[in-house]
Amino acid sequence: MFARLTLNPMRSLFCAFLLAVGFVQAAEPEFPLVDAQECRPRTGLPNFFAKAQGVFGSGALPEIKVGYLGGSITAQPGWRVKSLAHFKQAYPNAKFTEINAAIGGTGSDLGVFRVQHDVLSKQPDLLFVEFAVNDGGASPEQIIRCMEGIVRQTWRTNPNCDICFVYTLVEGMAPGIAAGKFPRSASAMEKVADHYGIPTIHFGLEVSRLSKEGKVLWKSPLPKTPEEKATLADKVVFAPDSVHPHVETGHKMYLEAIVRSLPGISQASGKPMKHELPAPLVADNFERASLTSIAAAKLPAGVAPLDPTKDAMAKSYTNRLPALVRLTQPGQAIEFKFKGTHCAVYDIVGPAGGKVAVTLDGGTPKAMTRFDAYCTYARLSTFTVGTKLTDTVHTVRLELLPDAFDKAAILAQRKEKMDKPERFADRHFFPGGLLIVGELVP
C-alpha cells in the first residue's frame, strides 16, 4: 500500500474545516465518545511531583526536564512556555528545562517515530503529548496504535518518566465539548490513557463553555486600542484563525486549565515508582516504531550525508533529522531492506524538490512528487512506502526521476508565485530518515 503524508503547515486548519463541517465525526459515528471532563488524574505524576517537591532528599538542586511532543499549537510560545514558567515559580527549589519536540502540522503518526530521537534521548522526567487537533482526521485505530506506541517506547526506555496527555481544540470541536462529549481523537486517546493510568487534561472545556455563551471570538486579531478593548465587553479574543490561540489570551486559558488540574493530579500521585508495562491494549501498536538514519541505507556512489557545518539546509534540520542526503542526478537510487510492517521516508520538500520512484518488494514503481503548493520554502515531510505489511523482510528502492513538471502551476493552486525562478530550477530529493515499524536488515 502506498500513501502520501505531507507535514503541511495548514494541517491544523484542514482538520478544523473537517470538524466544522462534520466530516470527521460522520466518518465513524459508531466510535464511542468519552464524557467531557477537564482532568482525569488517574495514577497521577508520582515521580514528577516527588522530584519537584524534593522528596528524594539528595540535597542537590533537582534537575527536571519537561518534554513537549506535539504540533503547531505546542510549537507556539504559548502553553508550553507558560507551563514551564509556572513550574519554575511553583517549585523554586528545582531546576526546570524544556525539551521542545513540537513540529507544526504533525500528528501522533509521526510523533511515535520521533519520540525516541527527539525526546527520550534527552532523558525527560515528564512528557506532555499533544496531538488531539492534528489527529482530528485520523481513524481511532491509528490514533490508538500510535499513542500506545509512544507510551510503551517511553516506559521501556525510561520507566521513571511520567506522561500526561493534553488536548487542545479548534472551533469546530467546541459545540460537541460544550454538549458534554470529547471529540473522536481525544476519545481514542482516552482509551490509551485508561489502560496505562495516564493523567489527561483537556484545555478546551472552559473555552467551549464560553463559546456556547457567545463569548469567544475564534477568528480575530487582538485589540490594540482602549476603544477596541472596550467594545469586547466580556468576550475573549481566542485566536486569529480558529486554531492557533493568541499567546496572550487563548494560551493563557490553556495554562489556567493546567493550573486547575495539577492539585488533583498531585493528590492522585502515590510514591515514586517505575512504570511497568502491562499487556498491550492493541497487538499492532507501534511500540517498534523507530527513526533510522538514511545513512544506514545503501547510498549511491559518491553520495554522503551533508555536513551540517558546511551545508545550510543540513544545519537547519540537524535537530530533527538524523542525517540528510541530497540526490541530484536522475537515476541515483537509495536501497535498503527492513523486516517489519510499516515503512515511510522522512525528508524535506521545498523549492528544489523533484520526483522519486518508490519500489517496494520489486513491484510497480510509484512516483512521489516532493513538491506541492506550499513549497515556497523548505519544510519537513514524509511519504509512506508501505503499511500493514506482513512482518517479513521487504526491499525498497528510492530512485530520483528525470521527470519535469510545472512547479508554477502547482504553486498557483494557492495563488503563490516563484519569487526567484532559479530557486525552483532543481528537481532533487532530500531524504534524512526512515520511519520503520520493525528494523533495518543487512
Q: What is the 3-state secondary structure (H, E, C) of 106-151?
A: CCHHHHHHHHHHHCHHHCCCEEEEECCCCCCCCCHHHHHHHHHHHH
Contacts (Cβ under 8 Å, ≥6 apart) of 125:
47, 48, 51, 64, 65, 66, 160, 161, 162
Q: Are residues 194 and 262 in the same domain?
A: yes
Task: Indicate whether 242 and 299 sit together in one domain.
Answer: no
| Amino acid occupying residue 223 | P
Per-residue pLDDT tens over the stretch 122-169: 999 999 999 999 999 999 999 999 999 999 999 999 999 999 999 999
Q: Are residues 139 and 62 in the same domain?
A: yes
- The answer to whether position 336 is within a domain reads yes
How many structural domains does the chain have?
A: 2
Residue 32 located in a structural domain: yes
**63 and 162 together in one domain:** yes
Q: Are residues 42 and 109 in the same domain?
A: yes
Question: Domain limits at 90?
Answer: 9-268
Say what the pTM is.
0.91
What pLDDT score was predicted for residue 8? 57
Classify 362 in phi/psi space as left (phi over 0), alpha (psi -120 to 50) or beta.
Answer: left
277 domain residue, yes or no? no
Q: Is residue 278 part of a domain?
A: no
Q: Side-chain half-sphere of 432: how many Cα atoms within 13 Å?
A: 25
The reply to whether 424 and 360 lie within a common domain is: yes
Paired residues of 441 in beta bridges:
337
The CATH number given to whatever domain includes residue 362 is 2.60.120.260
Domain boundary among 236, 268, 300: 268
340 lies in some domain: yes
pLDDT at 54: 82
Q: Which of 268, 301, 316 is at the close of a domain?
A: 268
pLDDT at 16: 46
Largest CA distance in the chain: 69
Give residues with Cβ within 8 angstroms of 249, minimum separation 6.
Answer: 222, 236, 237, 238
Burial class (CB in 10 A: 0-12, 13-18, 19+), 366: middle
pLDDT at 22: 40
CA-nearest of 108, 249, 115 to 188 is 108
* 280 within 8 A of 300, measured Cβ to Cβ: no
- Stretches where the chain sits below pLDDT 70 are 1-29, 55-59
Would you say residue 283 lies in a domain? no
Residue 210 grid cell: 464560553
What is the C-alpha separation between 89 and 80, in angstroms, rounded? 15
Residue 225 burial by CB count (10 A; 0-12/13-18/19+): exposed, middle or buried? exposed
Whether residue 69 is contained in a domain is answered as yes
- From the list 39, 13, 69, the residue with the least C-alpha distance to 204 is 39
CB 284 within 8 A of CB 276: no
Instruction: Based on the fold, state whether residues 226 and 302 are members of the same structural domain.
Output: no
Compute how many other C-beta atoms are within 10 angstroms of the C-beta atom of residue 22: 11
Q: Of 162, 161, 185, which is closest to residue 172 (Cα–Cα)?
A: 185
pLDDT tens profile 34-45: 999 999 999 999
Q: 132 and 234: one domain?
A: yes
CATH number, position 39: 3.40.50.1110
Residues 244 and 299 occupy one common structural domain: no
Q: Domain for residue 232, yes or no?
A: yes
Q: Are 172 and 302 found together in one domain?
A: no
Q: Same domain for 332 and 240?
A: no
Of 223, 238, 268, the residue at which a domain comes to its end is 268
Q: Which residues contact 25 (CB under 8 A, 6 or more apart)?
A: 19, 176, 183, 184
Same-domain check for residues 160 and 231: yes
